Amino acid sequence: MHYLRNMWRFLVALQLLPALESGEETLVGGQAVLEGVMMRSPHAWAIAVRRPSGEVATMSEPLERPSEKHKWMGWPVVRGVMTLGYAMTLGFRALRFSADVALEQIMPAEQQKEKKAEISGWVAGINIAISLAFFIFMYKFLPLAAATELKRVNAIFANPIMFNVVDGVIRIALFLLFIWGVSLMKDIRRVYQYHGAEHKTVFAFENGDPLSEGTVQKYSTFHPRCGTSFLMTVMIFSIVVYIVANAIFPVTTFWSRFATRIVLLPVIAGLSYEIIRFAAKHRGSLFALMTAPGLWLQRITTQPPSDDQVHCAIVALDQAMELEKQNGGELVIA
């Protein structure tokens, strides 16, 4: 029973992965995991996960920045796609580590001596496949199917602009419903608390304050570089992209529209990344208004953390900074 519960937590957290992490390669960021926090800097990353016993399990490794090895990965739009893919890969490893720590408490001590408690490769692969299938079905297939059905009911929805707006509104509604629905689960609400701890700790670091529980707790849980903001920007901006794409390459059948939505995913992700970067530097711009709903949504995806949860975030960031000094030098937030 405990094993199945842990697998369920892992699967739901995996689906939430893009909303729980920050995807900026050049700054400090992090991600909430199961009972812990992952923190990363440009050249290092570290995870701190609290065991049921109260001990904190940690792991840290140096990182290579893809854009330093391949200059083309730093090009506008391309860098967004590459950074997101890199962050997702790293985020999955962090989430898997936290699930493995939880499994250690389930497996008998004598069995742990023979075999390390961890999620096997094939189980992890199945979880990724399920998560990807869920994403495509929930946010691509269902909204398109609903908009297509509405078009049959009323001719007004046959207008390309109206069709794509309705498709986008349904997509956003499903996303909000999922984010809110899983927040009612006790285990996921704790993940949202660790998400808040990560944001507070990053804020304290960026302001040059000492990393202590008391100091960190003074900061907000809402951070502009959050994955939640990125996802909401993607959802909103995709409506514009689909309208433009439909004007340039008119498609009318259900499956051709569905294929277009899959093909355009990297383009939308890359452009959304650039919008968020621009909005962060130009707070009064129209693009900043586009990213505002993501900050509002963090009222759900981040929750006030306890001091123990903040402590995990501090431990993870301290270890990441220690490795950063060894691999990239002293990181200074200007």
* Threshold 0.85, pTM exceeds: no
Q: Classify residue 296: in a domain, yes or no.
A: yes
CA distance 74 to 72: 5
**Residue type at 205 in one-letter notation:** F
| Residue 37 counted as domain residue | yes
Task: Give the pLDDT band (50/70/90) at residue 111.
Answer: very low
Tokens of 68: 């330093």
Question: Is residue 298, in this structure, part of any structural domain at all?
Answer: yes
In a domain, 226, yes or no: yes
- The reply to whether 174 falls in a domain is yes
Range of the domain at 112: 2-327
- 3-class secondary-structure state, position 264: coil
In total, the chain counts a number of residues equal to: 334
Tokens coding 265: 């995913």
In a domain, 43, yes or no: yes
| Eight-state DSSP code of residue 183 | H
| Candidate from 14-23, 38-47, 154-163, 183-192 with smallest mean pLDDT | 14-23
At 297-326, the pLDDT tens digits run 888 889 999 999 999 999 999 999 888 888
**Which pair of structure tokens corresponds to residue 213?**
């529980």
d(CA 193, CA 189): 6
> Is 309 domain-assigned?
yes
DSSP state of 305: P
CA pair distance 47, 58, nearest whole angstrom: 5
Q: What span, in angstroms and rounded, lies between the C-alpha atoms of 96 and 118?
A: 8
CA quadruple 148, 154, 158, 162: dihedral positive or negative?
negative
| Residue 332 is assigned to a structural domain of this protein | no
Encode pLDDT of 209-230 as tens digits.
989 999 999 998 887 777 777 7
Which amino acid is residue 259, in one-letter code? A
What's the number of domains the chain is made of?
1
